[in-house]
Amino acid sequence: MLAMYRTMLLIRRTEEQLRDDFHAGRLPGGVHLYIGQEAIAAGVCAHLDDADPIASTHRGHGHYLAKGGDPEAMLAEVYARETGICKGMGGSMHVADFSRGIIGANGIVGAGLAISAGAAFAAQLDREGRVAVCFFGDGAANQGVFMEVLNVATLWKLPLLLVCEHNCYSEFSPSDTVTAGEITDRARAFNIPCSVVDGNDAVAVWQAAAAAVELARDGGGPSFIEAKTYRIYGHNESEVHWLSSEYRDETEIEPWRKQDPIERLGSFILENGVCARENLDALDIEIRARIAAAAEAAAAAPPPDPELMRDMMFSGQQP
Protein backbone atom coordinates (compact mmCIF):
# COMPACT_ATOMS: atom_id res chain seq x y z
CA MET A 1 0.00 0.00 0.00
CA LEU A 2 2.70 2.40 1.05
CA ALA A 3 4.80 1.31 -1.94
CA MET A 4 1.94 2.24 -4.24
CA TYR A 5 1.55 5.59 -2.52
CA ARG A 6 5.25 6.24 -2.95
CA THR A 7 5.08 5.39 -6.65
CA MET A 8 2.15 7.71 -7.22
CA LEU A 9 3.80 10.54 -5.35
CA LEU A 10 7.00 10.00 -7.30
CA ILE A 11 5.07 10.27 -10.57
CA ARG A 12 3.25 13.39 -9.39
CA ARG A 13 6.33 15.25 -8.22
CA THR A 14 8.34 14.28 -11.28
CA GLU A 15 5.62 15.52 -13.58
CA GLU A 16 5.13 18.74 -11.65
CA GLN A 17 8.83 19.30 -12.11
CA LEU A 18 8.53 18.64 -15.86
CA ARG A 19 5.49 20.89 -16.11
CA ASP A 20 7.37 23.75 -14.49
CA ASP A 21 10.48 23.01 -16.51
CA PHE A 22 8.50 23.10 -19.73
CA HIS A 23 6.86 26.42 -18.95
CA ALA A 24 10.21 27.86 -17.88
CA GLY A 25 11.57 26.95 -21.32
CA ARG A 26 14.02 24.39 -19.97
CA LEU A 27 12.77 21.50 -22.14
CA PRO A 28 13.24 21.26 -25.90
CA GLY A 29 10.00 19.38 -26.53
CA GLY A 30 6.50 19.23 -25.12
CA VAL A 31 5.29 16.86 -22.40
CA HIS A 32 2.00 14.98 -21.99
CA LEU A 33 1.20 14.88 -18.29
CA TYR A 34 -0.21 11.83 -16.50
CA ILE A 35 -1.21 13.81 -13.42
CA GLY A 36 -4.48 12.48 -11.99
CA GLN A 37 -4.05 9.03 -13.56
CA GLU A 38 -1.23 7.78 -11.29
CA ALA A 39 -3.35 5.14 -9.55
CA ILE A 40 -3.61 3.14 -12.77
CA ALA A 41 0.09 2.73 -13.49
CA ALA A 42 0.84 2.18 -9.80
CA GLY A 43 -2.01 -0.28 -9.18
CA VAL A 44 -1.13 -2.41 -12.20
CA CYS A 45 2.66 -2.31 -12.01
CA ALA A 46 2.56 -3.30 -8.33
CA HIS A 47 2.01 -6.84 -9.62
CA LEU A 48 4.82 -6.86 -12.16
CA ASP A 49 8.50 -7.76 -12.10
CA ASP A 50 11.30 -6.40 -14.23
CA ALA A 51 10.86 -9.37 -16.56
CA ASP A 52 7.23 -8.50 -17.34
CA PRO A 53 7.07 -6.23 -20.38
CA ILE A 54 4.82 -3.16 -20.49
CA ALA A 55 3.98 -1.08 -23.54
CA SER A 56 2.99 2.50 -22.94
CA THR A 57 1.82 5.66 -24.65
CA HIS A 58 2.73 9.25 -25.42
CA ARG A 59 1.56 9.91 -21.83
CA GLY A 60 4.14 7.48 -20.57
CA HIS A 61 6.12 8.99 -17.68
CA GLY A 62 3.84 7.38 -15.10
CA HIS A 63 4.11 3.89 -16.54
CA TYR A 64 7.87 4.19 -16.74
CA LEU A 65 8.21 5.28 -13.13
CA ALA A 66 5.67 2.80 -11.78
CA LYS A 67 7.55 -0.01 -13.50
CA GLY A 68 10.70 0.97 -11.65
CA GLY A 69 12.28 3.22 -14.26
CA ASP A 70 14.94 5.51 -12.93
CA PRO A 71 13.59 9.07 -12.44
CA GLU A 72 17.03 10.63 -12.80
CA ALA A 73 17.56 9.00 -16.19
CA MET A 74 14.05 9.94 -17.30
CA LEU A 75 14.45 13.58 -16.40
CA ALA A 76 17.79 13.65 -18.17
CA GLU A 77 16.09 12.16 -21.23
CA VAL A 78 13.39 14.80 -21.34
CA TYR A 79 16.13 17.38 -20.91
CA ALA A 80 17.80 15.83 -24.00
CA ARG A 81 20.99 14.82 -22.26
CA GLU A 82 23.46 12.06 -23.01
CA THR A 83 22.79 10.74 -19.50
CA GLY A 84 19.14 10.22 -20.44
CA ILE A 85 17.63 6.75 -20.47
CA CYS A 86 17.59 6.88 -24.28
CA LYS A 87 20.73 9.02 -24.54
CA GLY A 88 18.65 12.05 -25.48
CA MET A 89 17.53 10.46 -28.73
CA GLY A 90 13.88 9.85 -27.86
CA GLY A 91 12.66 12.38 -25.31
CA SER A 92 9.44 12.39 -23.32
CA MET A 93 7.35 10.39 -25.78
CA HIS A 94 9.83 7.54 -26.05
CA VAL A 95 11.11 6.82 -22.55
CA ALA A 96 11.99 3.14 -22.30
CA ASP A 97 14.13 0.87 -20.18
CA PHE A 98 14.18 -2.63 -21.61
CA SER A 99 16.18 -3.91 -18.64
CA ARG A 100 13.13 -3.20 -16.51
CA GLY A 101 10.56 -4.44 -18.98
CA ILE A 102 9.60 -0.93 -20.02
CA ILE A 103 9.44 -1.57 -23.73
CA GLY A 104 8.56 1.95 -24.54
CA ALA A 105 6.34 4.94 -24.41
CA ASN A 106 5.09 5.57 -27.93
CA GLY A 107 4.32 8.48 -30.21
CA ILE A 108 1.99 6.45 -32.39
CA VAL A 109 -1.44 6.09 -30.84
CA GLY A 110 -2.36 2.41 -30.61
CA ALA A 111 1.09 1.11 -31.51
CA GLY A 112 1.65 -0.38 -28.07
CA LEU A 113 -1.25 -2.79 -28.52
CA ALA A 114 0.36 -4.96 -31.15
CA ILE A 115 3.79 -4.62 -29.58
CA SER A 116 2.48 -5.88 -26.27
CA ALA A 117 0.77 -8.79 -28.02
CA GLY A 118 4.13 -9.73 -29.51
CA ALA A 119 5.78 -9.43 -26.12
CA ALA A 120 3.04 -11.65 -24.67
CA PHE A 121 3.68 -14.18 -27.42
CA ALA A 122 7.38 -14.25 -26.55
CA ALA A 123 6.45 -14.66 -22.88
CA GLN A 124 4.15 -17.53 -23.73
CA LEU A 125 6.85 -19.29 -25.75
CA ASP A 126 9.30 -18.96 -22.84
CA ARG A 127 6.88 -20.52 -20.33
CA GLU A 128 8.38 -18.58 -17.44
CA GLY A 129 5.12 -17.10 -16.26
CA ARG A 130 5.80 -13.62 -17.58
CA VAL A 131 2.85 -11.40 -18.39
CA ALA A 132 2.74 -8.48 -20.81
CA VAL A 133 0.72 -5.34 -20.14
CA CYS A 134 -0.43 -2.69 -22.54
CA PHE A 135 -1.51 0.70 -21.28
CA PHE A 136 -3.49 2.62 -23.87
CA GLY A 137 -5.97 5.46 -24.02
CA ASP A 138 -9.66 5.58 -24.83
CA GLY A 139 -8.70 7.28 -28.09
CA ALA A 140 -6.36 4.44 -28.99
CA ALA A 141 -9.24 1.99 -28.57
CA ASN A 142 -10.63 3.40 -31.82
CA GLN A 143 -7.69 2.10 -33.83
CA GLY A 144 -8.52 -1.11 -35.66
CA VAL A 145 -5.47 -2.75 -34.15
CA PHE A 146 -7.35 -2.94 -30.84
CA MET A 147 -9.77 -5.47 -32.30
CA GLU A 148 -7.01 -7.32 -34.07
CA VAL A 149 -5.06 -7.69 -30.84
CA LEU A 150 -8.13 -8.80 -28.89
CA ASN A 151 -8.66 -11.48 -31.49
CA VAL A 152 -5.15 -12.88 -31.65
CA ALA A 153 -4.65 -12.64 -27.88
CA THR A 154 -7.89 -14.52 -27.20
CA LEU A 155 -7.28 -17.09 -29.88
CA TRP A 156 -3.74 -17.84 -28.71
CA LYS A 157 -4.48 -17.39 -24.99
CA LEU A 158 -1.68 -14.86 -24.73
CA PRO A 159 -0.55 -13.77 -21.26
CA LEU A 160 -1.64 -10.21 -21.87
CA LEU A 161 -3.37 -7.57 -19.78
CA LEU A 162 -4.92 -4.72 -21.72
CA VAL A 163 -5.43 -1.62 -19.61
CA CYS A 164 -7.51 1.09 -21.20
CA GLU A 165 -7.13 4.42 -19.41
CA HIS A 166 -10.34 6.24 -20.13
CA ASN A 167 -9.53 9.84 -19.28
CA CYS A 168 -12.52 11.37 -21.08
CA TYR A 169 -10.43 12.98 -23.83
CA SER A 170 -8.74 12.11 -27.05
CA GLU A 171 -6.60 15.17 -27.57
CA PHE A 172 -9.19 17.95 -27.67
CA SER A 173 -12.17 15.78 -28.49
CA PRO A 174 -14.41 14.69 -25.61
CA SER A 175 -14.44 10.90 -25.77
CA ASP A 176 -18.14 10.58 -26.40
CA THR A 177 -17.78 12.57 -29.62
CA VAL A 178 -15.34 10.06 -31.10
CA THR A 179 -16.03 6.78 -29.32
CA ALA A 180 -19.23 4.78 -29.76
CA GLY A 181 -20.61 2.60 -27.01
CA GLU A 182 -18.62 1.24 -24.11
CA ILE A 183 -15.04 0.27 -24.86
CA THR A 184 -15.35 -2.64 -22.45
CA ASP A 185 -18.08 -4.13 -24.61
CA ARG A 186 -15.59 -4.43 -27.43
CA ALA A 187 -13.43 -6.66 -25.25
CA ARG A 188 -16.45 -8.51 -23.86
CA ALA A 189 -17.29 -9.64 -27.37
CA PHE A 190 -14.23 -11.90 -27.16
CA ASN A 191 -15.39 -13.49 -23.91
CA ILE A 192 -12.30 -12.57 -22.00
CA PRO A 193 -12.43 -11.41 -18.36
CA CYS A 194 -13.26 -7.72 -18.31
CA SER A 195 -13.52 -5.27 -15.48
CA VAL A 196 -14.37 -1.61 -15.26
CA VAL A 197 -12.76 0.14 -12.32
CA ASP A 198 -12.53 3.58 -10.78
CA GLY A 199 -9.13 4.58 -12.12
CA ASN A 200 -8.65 7.11 -9.35
CA ASP A 201 -8.93 4.40 -6.73
CA ALA A 202 -5.54 2.73 -6.47
CA VAL A 203 -6.87 -0.11 -4.34
CA ALA A 204 -9.58 -0.94 -6.87
CA VAL A 205 -7.07 -0.91 -9.72
CA TRP A 206 -4.69 -3.04 -7.67
CA GLN A 207 -7.40 -5.62 -7.03
CA ALA A 208 -8.55 -5.84 -10.63
CA ALA A 209 -4.97 -6.16 -11.85
CA ALA A 210 -4.17 -8.82 -9.24
CA ALA A 211 -6.76 -11.18 -10.69
CA ALA A 212 -5.83 -10.46 -14.30
CA VAL A 213 -2.10 -10.87 -13.80
CA GLU A 214 -2.53 -14.09 -11.88
CA LEU A 215 -4.77 -15.50 -14.59
CA ALA A 216 -2.25 -14.64 -17.29
CA ARG A 217 0.66 -16.10 -15.33
CA ASP A 218 -1.28 -19.34 -14.91
CA GLY A 219 -1.84 -19.64 -18.62
CA GLY A 220 -5.44 -18.43 -18.52
CA GLY A 221 -5.03 -15.94 -21.34
CA PRO A 222 -5.75 -12.25 -21.74
CA SER A 223 -7.85 -9.87 -19.64
CA PHE A 224 -9.11 -6.38 -20.11
CA ILE A 225 -9.42 -3.57 -17.59
CA GLU A 226 -11.01 -0.24 -18.28
CA ALA A 227 -9.94 2.32 -15.73
CA LYS A 228 -12.20 5.38 -15.64
CA THR A 229 -10.26 8.51 -14.90
CA TYR A 230 -9.79 12.09 -16.06
CA ARG A 231 -7.02 14.09 -17.70
CA ILE A 232 -6.48 16.99 -15.30
CA TYR A 233 -3.94 18.83 -17.46
CA GLY A 234 -4.09 19.62 -21.15
CA HIS A 235 -3.36 17.11 -23.86
CA ASN A 236 0.15 18.47 -24.04
CA GLU A 237 1.73 21.24 -21.98
CA SER A 238 2.53 23.14 -25.16
CA GLU A 239 -1.10 23.47 -26.23
CA VAL A 240 -1.59 26.85 -24.58
CA HIS A 241 0.83 28.24 -27.13
CA TRP A 242 -1.03 27.16 -30.23
CA LEU A 243 -4.65 26.37 -29.49
CA SER A 244 -6.90 29.14 -30.65
CA SER A 245 -9.93 28.23 -28.58
CA GLU A 246 -10.95 26.53 -25.35
CA TYR A 247 -12.27 23.01 -25.48
CA ARG A 248 -13.39 22.41 -21.93
CA ASP A 249 -14.65 24.26 -18.95
CA GLU A 250 -12.85 24.69 -15.67
CA THR A 251 -16.06 23.60 -13.89
CA GLU A 252 -15.70 20.22 -15.55
CA ILE A 253 -12.22 19.71 -14.11
CA GLU A 254 -12.93 20.77 -10.54
CA PRO A 255 -14.92 17.71 -9.38
CA TRP A 256 -12.15 15.48 -10.67
CA ARG A 257 -9.56 17.39 -8.67
CA LYS A 258 -11.55 16.34 -5.63
CA GLN A 259 -11.10 12.73 -6.74
CA ASP A 260 -7.33 13.05 -6.61
CA PRO A 261 -5.97 9.49 -6.51
CA ILE A 262 -3.05 10.34 -4.25
CA GLU A 263 -5.21 12.06 -1.67
CA ARG A 264 -7.66 9.21 -1.80
CA LEU A 265 -5.01 6.58 -1.22
CA GLY A 266 -3.48 8.77 1.49
CA SER A 267 -6.80 8.90 3.34
CA PHE A 268 -7.23 5.17 2.96
CA ILE A 269 -3.77 4.58 4.40
CA LEU A 270 -4.40 6.84 7.36
CA GLU A 271 -7.87 5.43 8.03
CA ASN A 272 -6.47 1.92 8.09
CA GLY A 273 -3.61 2.91 10.31
CA VAL A 274 -0.96 1.77 7.83
CA CYS A 275 1.13 4.73 8.91
CA ALA A 276 0.79 8.25 10.27
CA ARG A 277 0.38 11.58 8.48
CA GLU A 278 3.96 12.50 9.43
CA ASN A 279 5.25 9.45 7.58
CA LEU A 280 3.45 10.50 4.43
CA ASP A 281 4.73 14.05 4.78
CA ALA A 282 8.26 12.82 5.29
CA LEU A 283 7.93 10.71 2.16
CA ASP A 284 6.84 13.74 0.19
CA ILE A 285 9.80 15.77 1.43
CA GLU A 286 12.15 12.97 0.48
CA ILE A 287 10.67 12.64 -3.03
CA ARG A 288 10.63 16.38 -3.65
CA ALA A 289 14.30 16.59 -2.72
CA ARG A 290 15.16 13.67 -4.96
CA ILE A 291 13.36 15.14 -7.97
CA ALA A 292 14.76 18.62 -7.46
CA ALA A 293 18.25 17.14 -7.36
CA ALA A 294 17.50 15.00 -10.41
CA ALA A 295 16.35 18.04 -12.39
CA GLU A 296 19.45 19.95 -11.38
CA ALA A 297 21.65 17.07 -12.41
CA ALA A 298 19.80 16.78 -15.71
CA ALA A 299 20.19 20.47 -16.41
CA ALA A 300 23.93 20.23 -15.74
CA ALA A 301 24.48 17.09 -17.83
CA PRO A 302 26.03 17.32 -21.30
CA PRO A 303 23.98 17.05 -24.49
CA PRO A 304 24.55 13.91 -26.54
CA ASP A 305 27.44 13.60 -28.95
CA PRO A 306 25.80 13.91 -32.39
CA GLU A 307 27.91 11.03 -33.68
CA LEU A 308 26.05 8.71 -31.31
CA MET A 309 23.10 8.58 -33.68
CA ARG A 310 25.14 6.80 -36.31
CA ASP A 311 26.05 4.02 -33.89
CA MET A 312 22.52 3.66 -32.63
CA MET A 313 20.59 3.41 -35.86
CA PHE A 314 21.60 -0.20 -36.49
CA SER A 315 23.26 -2.81 -34.33
CA GLY A 316 26.72 -3.48 -35.65
CA GLN A 317 26.14 -1.65 -38.88
CA GLN A 318 26.51 1.92 -40.09
CA PRO A 319 23.48 3.74 -41.49
Ligand X SMILES: Cc1ncc(C[n+]2csc(CCOP(=O)(O)OP(=O)(O)O)c2C)c(N)n1
Under the rule (CB under 5 A), what is the footprint of Mg ion? Answer: 137-139, 167, 169
Pick the closer one to another protein by CB: 178 or 189. Answer: 178
Pick the closer one to ligand X by CB: 109 or 212. Answer: 109
SS3 at position 126: helix
Fill in the per-residue mask, 57 to 96: x = in contact with another protein (CB under 8 A), - = not in contact. -----------------------xx----x-xxxx-xx--
Residue 67 interacting entry, from Mg ion, another protein, ligand X, none, C-beta within 5 to 8 Å by type:
none
Q: Per DSSP, which regions of 66-155 are E strands?
A: 132-137
Residue 29 interacting entry, from another protein, ligand X, Mg ion, none, C-beta within 5 to 8 Å by type:
another protein
Q: Applying CB under 6 A, does 170 fall inside the site for ligand X?
A: yes
Residue 59 interacting entry, from another protein, Mg ion, ligand X, none, C-beta within 5 to 8 Å by type:
ligand X
SS3 at position 253: helix
Helix axes 144-155, 111-126, angle to 10 degrees: 10
Alpha-carbon distance of 280 to 268, in angstroms, equals: 12
Alpha-carbon distance of 145 to 157, in angstroms, equals: 17
Q: Applying CB under 6 A, does 171 fall inside the site for ligand X?
A: yes
Q: Is 200 within 8 Å of 189 (Cβ atoms)?
A: no
Number of neighbours of residue 77 by Cβ within 10 angstroms: 29
For the bound state, the minimum distance from the C-beta of residue 139 to Mg ion, rounded and expressed in Å, comes to: 5
Q: Under rule CB under 8 A, which residues in 8-47 are in contact with another protein?
A: 28-30
Q: Applying CB under 8 A, does 114 fall inside the site for another protein?
A: no
Residue 133, beta-bridge partner list: 54, 161
Q: Where are the alpha helices (DSSP H) in 127-246?
A: 144-155, 183-188, 202-217, 239-242
Residues that bind another protein (CB under 8 A): 28-30, 80-81, 86, 88-91, 93-94, 106-110, 139-140, 142-144, 170-173, 177-179, 242-245, 247, 303-304, 306, 308-310, 313, 319
